Every structure is written in C-alpha cells, then in structure tokens.
Amino acid sequence: MADLRVKIGGLDLKNPIMTASGTFGFGEEFNDFFDISKLGGYVVKGTTFEPRQGNAYPRMAETPAGMLNAVGLQNKGVHYFADVIYPRIKDIDSHLVVNVNGSTIEDYIKCTEKVAELERVTAIELNISCPNVKQGGMSFGVCATSASEVVKAVRKVYSKTLIVKLSPNVTDITEIARAAEAEGADSVSLINTLLGMAIDVEKRRPLLSTVTGGLSGPCVKPVALAMVWKTAKAVKIPVVGMGGIMDWKDAVEFLLAGASAVQVGTANFIDPTVCLKIIDGLNDYLDRHNYSSVNEIIGAIGV
Amino acid sequence: MRKFVADFTVTDNIALNANYFLLKLTSVEKLPEMLPGQFVEVKVDGSPTTFLRRPISINNIIEERNELWLLIQTIGDGTRTLSALKSGDLLNLILPLGNSFTLPENPSKSVLLIGGGVGTAPMLFWGKYLKNRGFEPNFLLGARSSKDLLQLEEFDKYGTVFTTTEDGSAGEKGFVTQHTILQTKSFDFIYTCGPKPMMLAVAVYAKSKNISCEVSLENTMACGFGVCLCCVENTINGNVCVCTEGPIFNINELKWQI
C-alpha cells in the first residue's frame, strides 16, 4: 500500500482525490453511497454572500461525451451555509473546502470573511471562472489584472489555504495562474468548464435558457490535461487538476502531467461511488509500479 | 429513504409495440422499499452518444418475485440501446429516487389517475398501491391510437379503466381532458403524468372543480439525487430540484398558468 498523502498549501490530504464544486452538493447527499471521509477533500457547492436563484430552466444539455450546464450558482447564501449546513457536515474527517463566488470584489471579501469564521473549513477555492453568471465570476478570471486584484483582496482577509480556480476560456491560462501566485495564492485549480453551446434544430432554439453554458465531462479532458501540464511548469505552487476525470487512469494522467491533487466532477453524476474506485485504482497502480508514494508520480512524464 | 447503486439482472424485455418496451428486472438482494411516483436512474452501456443516466419512473413492483418493472419509450440512442437488452443482461440502477404521490387518508375517497403516453407508467404502480389499501381507483389513459394503449390488462386488475385515443380507434375520441367521465363523475383526488400540455389541461380542470391534484414532472436532469441542480422547477418556494423535491408536485406549488 503506497503512501497516498499529498500537500496543497496548508492542507495535508490523506489522498489526492477531491470532488469538484457543483458536482457533490454539500457531501451529505453522498452519505448513502459511500463514506465520504475517505476523500482527500471535498469542495462544496459554489457559495455567494447573498442567496441566488440561479438561471432559468432548462439548465442542462447532454453532449457527446459530456454535458453543458447553466446552473448559475444557485445557492442559499453564505449565512445559510454557515448556520444550517456547516453544523451538519463539519465533523466529517476530510478537508472541507468552500467554493467562494462574487459579482464584485466586495462580495468576494464578505463571503470569504464569513467562511473564515468556520473552523472546520480548511481552505477556500476562489472561483474566478464561473461562466454562467452575468456579472463577476469568469470576468475576473479572464484577465491577469482583474485576477490579481481579487486574489490580492481576498488574500488580505483569509489566512488559511487559498486555492484559486481558473477558467480555461482564456488565451494563456499560465498568465492568470502566475498572477494568482504572485498575489499569494497557495494553489490553483483548473479547469473550470469550457464555454459551450447546443441547439435544438427542430425548434431552432438553444437548448439552454442562457444560450451558452459550461462544458464538462470526458470531452474536455485533453484540453484540461494540456492546461494543467503547462500551468504546473509555469508556477511553483501546487496545481489541482480537473476536467473529465472518469476513472483512476484519468486521475493518474493528471498527476503525471503535474497536478498534486485532482478533483472529480461530472463523473459523480453517473457513478456516485466513482471517487472510491479512483482511490483504489490509484493505489493499485502505485503498487503495481512499485512506487512508495504518490508524490513520486507528480509531474513524472519524461519530457 | 436510503438510496442504492446496484446491478440488476434483466429477466424479460417485452416489446409492447414499435415504440414501447417493458423491462423486468430482478436482484439477488431483496428490493428496497420503493414508493409509487419514485424513479430510478439507469446507466446506459454500449451507446457512445449516451453520457448521462436515464431517469425512468417505476412502473410496477412484484414483491413475491423481487421484480421491478420499467416501461420505456424509445426516443433516442439511450432508450434504443436499452430496448435491445436481453434476459440475463445486467443493468446498473440508482434507486429509489424522488418523492411519491400523496396517499389520501380515507379509502372511500374517489381517486382518478390520468396518464398520457409513457406517462401511464407510474400510474400502474400507484393504482396497485391504492387498490391494496382499500381504494377503488379510476384510470383515465390516453394515447394516439389503440396500439399505443399499454398494459390495459394490468390496469384492469386494480380499478376501472377509461380510455381516449386521438384517432378514435379505442375508447372515446380526443384527449383525456375531453373524456365524458370528467363531466359525469366527481373526484376528490386527481394524479397525472404525461406531456406537459396534457398535465396543464388536467390541472386547469382540477382547479376549476376544486379537486386536489398532483402532477409528475420530468425535467431534464443530470444526476437524479439533488447535486447538479439542473432539473429545477420554478415553484412558490423558488427553484427546487424535481429529482429531490419532486417529481410529484401539488399543482398549488407550481407557477403554471392554471
């Protein structure tokens, strides 16, 4: 049995398998399916300072090897999270990460400050890459100047581990990653969804109420992997990789490309126990290749 | 209710007509408790264009045989792949999902179950459940033509069956909402599942007669257990997930133009 422990900023993860925000609810939805304390960490649904109703239905369209979503950060606000949900999940023996969102820098700060009060939340994932909100979200993450600004502001009010979630909808993701690193981010996670679209030809109408949405699933994996590889070379802070991971092999690819941990997203919808299988598969892989620690394979492609 | 992910074995796959088939499934484990109105999420293997599971309502539970029935309409690649399943094949399901129809307290109440097209599927299980609890259900089933009226011999076991067809080849000609029993009989509870325009018309009728009415929604969903937040219905309580707060809603909760 290889040592699966990895480090992301101040977080000592028992293994590199985390779940991606927006695909794992608040974790408790999976209690019937498996013991979620087996996860390295889990990132809960994107949270904003004020409650949000999200976008109108329809919000989802299946695509070849993936899906589009346009949920639009539906959530009951950070106070509801802190008062109602947090007490129910705080004692799970895994790293609880809150995905923080905002329309303005002020929103990001207020939401972060509230989350910072919660002892058992060991990190935040600053989402500057949501493609499904009209204001804020991805607009912060598509240019290095605004990314710097929001990371700097949040860093001032948050002393625990700060992970910045990056958008792939940019010319050069490494530029944004370096900007986040320069402002004190402990880690970057990538990729958020790719901007996409689907059309009903009979009705001559878009399939999503918002016309465009975020693409996820195995169809984005090669894009994600290339971005993780480039980013891992460009920054010194650990990279958390995600994008279309469906099984242990996909997870190993991301680790080999330079990710120190991975997040599993859309796959949770199809097999709610997939993370357990990935942890087991990763362990078998390391044993089979006589590695004593998962850290030996991080970035270990001979190029 | 606890949810499970499990493999089931196909014991039979019966083509009911060109577009509908009935899958009978069993499991080595005893089936968990399931309620009428609930659904399962079916994993589709062997269809490269099908990525997500398919939500399918529970058509019937035969406890003596530990058997679960799914009535499925062939619509796209996913359901077409399922239609080719053979006895002995394995099928992975997540179940039971969603809420259930509300059981009236008094079995002497008059209940009407209205199904259109594949929307008749959950009404069989619900009618049987009601019959087993002393109710005398009325079924009103609608289809395009006589060959699309499915499982009539099954429905006959649990109540009185009324039918409509659009072409008049069986029952009364027209839509379910034009059937004469809606004018000649009175009902205390109506439950409906089918195309949205049909359910809307049923809801309008129920509201005009002050009859309690529940509808079963089938909004497009990715997960089926409340984490993707894709299948929301705009209700008086805001956007709620059809997969966890539904699929059964009282019409008074909805923001439909009733």
Question: Model confidence over B6-60: pLDDT tens digits?
Answer: 999 999 999 999 999 999 999 999 999 999 999 999 999 999 999 999 999 999 9
Query: Cβ B228–A22 below 8 Å, yes or no?
Result: yes
A154-159 mean pLDDT: 98
Rg (C-alpha) for chain B, rounded Å, is 18
* Count of positions (residues) in chain A: 303
pLDDT of residue A131: 75
**Chain A contact present for B94, CB below 8 A:** yes
Kindly tell me the sign of the dihedral angle through the C-alpha atoms of A282, A283, A289, A295: positive
Taking CB atoms and an 8 Å cutoff, what residues of chain B touch A268?
223, 227
Chain A CB contacts of B227 below 8 Å = 23-25, 29-30, 45, 268-269
Q: Does A54 touch chain B (CB under 8 A)?
A: yes
Fold of B4-97: Elongation Factor Tu (Ef-tu); domain 3 (2.40.30)
Hey, is the C-beta of A272 within 8 angstroms of any chain B C-beta? yes
- Contact assessment for residue A37 and residue A279, using Cβ atoms and an 8 Å cutoff: no
CB A95 within 8 A of CB A13: yes
The two tokens of residue B63 are 């406890």
Q: Does position A261 have pLDDT exceeding 90, yes or no?
A: yes
- Angle (nearest 5°) at CA A257 between A61 and A69: 10
Residue A68: pLDDT above 90? yes
Q: Do B43 and A272 touch (CB under 8 A)?
A: no
B49 in contact with A, Cβ within 8 Å: yes
Report the percentage of chain A scoring pLDDT > 70. Answer: 99
Q: How far does A206 lie from chain B, in Å, by closest CA? A: 15
Query: pLDDT digits over B45-103, tens only?
Result: 999 999 999 999 999 999 999 999 999 999 999 999 999 999 999 999 999 999 999 99
Confidence grade of residue A140 (pLDDT, cut at 50, 70, 90): confident
Matching fold, domains B4-97 and B111-216: no
Distance from CA of A140 to the nearest CA of B (A): 24
Tokens representing B251 are 């019409």
Q: With an 8 Å Cβ cutoff, is B75 touching chain A? A: no
pLDDT attached to residue A214: 97
> What's the pLDDT band for A302 if we cut at 50, 70, 90?
confident
Query: Given a cut of 90, is residue A219 above it in pLDDT?
Result: yes
- Chain-chain contact of A269 with B52 (C-beta, under 8 angstroms): yes
Record: contact B228-A69, CB cut-off 8 A: yes
Confidence of residue B235 (pLDDT cuts 50, 70, 90): very high
Which residues of chain B does A62 touch, with a Cβ-Cβ cutoff of 8 Å?
Answer: 50-52
CB contact (8 A) between residue A64 and residue B53? no
In the CATH scheme, what is the homologous superfamily, with its name and number, of domain A6-297?
Aldolase class I (3.20.20.70)
Say if the Cβ atoms of A269 and B226 lie within 8 Å. no
> Between chain A and chain B, how many beta carbons pairs sit less than 8 Å apart?
89
| Listed residue (A281, A221, A270, A285) closest to A17, CA to CA | A281
Least Cα distance to B193 among B133, B137, B140, B243 occurs for B140
Contact yes or no for A70/A209 (Cβ under 8 A)? yes
Q: What is the mean pLDDT of residues A52-58?
A: 96
Among A47, A52, A62, A69, most B C-beta atoms within 10 A, so best to mutate, is A62
Domains of chain A, residue spans: 6-297
pLDDT digits (tens, 9 = 90+) for B240-257: 999 999 999 999 999 999
pLDDT tens readout for residues B196-229: 999 999 999 999 999 999 999 999 999 999 999 9
CA distance B7 to chain A (A): 12
CATH architecture under which domain B111-216 falls: 3-Layer(aba) Sandwich (3.40)
Question: Mean pLDDT over residues B113-123, rounded?
Answer: 97
**Residue A197 pairs with which residues in a beta bridge?**
A212
Q: How far apart, in whole angstroms, are the C-alpha atoms of residue B51 and residue A251? A: 19
Q: What is the pLDDT of residues A75-110, one digit of tens each?
A: 999 999 999 999 999 999 999 999 999 999 999 999
* Mean per-residue pLDDT, A132-145: 80
The alpha-carbon gap from A67 to the nearest alpha carbon of chain B, in Å, equals 8
The mean of the pLDDT values for chain B is: 97
Q: Residue A133: what pLDDT?
A: 75
Q: Nearest C-alpha of chain A: how many angstroms from B229?
A: 7
Put simply, the answer to whether B52 touches A63 (Cβ < 8 Å) is no
Q: Which two tokens stand for residue A131?
A: 């493609």
Q: Which residues of A are catalytic?
A: 130
Whether A269 sits inside 8 A of B228 (CB atoms) is yes
B2 vs A contacts (CB less than 8 Å)? 32
A1 band by pLDDT with thresholds 50, 70 and 90? confident
What pLDDT, on the 0 to 100 scale, is given for residue B162?
98
| pLDDT classification of A212: cutoffs 50, 70, 90 | very high
Whether B255 has its CB under 8 Å from any CB of chain A: the answer is no
Q: Decide if B51 and A22 are in contact by the 8 Å CB cutoff.
A: no
Domain residues of chain B, as ranges? Answer: 4-97, 111-216
HSE, CB side, 13 Å, CA atoms: give it for residue B200.
Answer: 7
Q: Which amino acid is at A41?
A: G
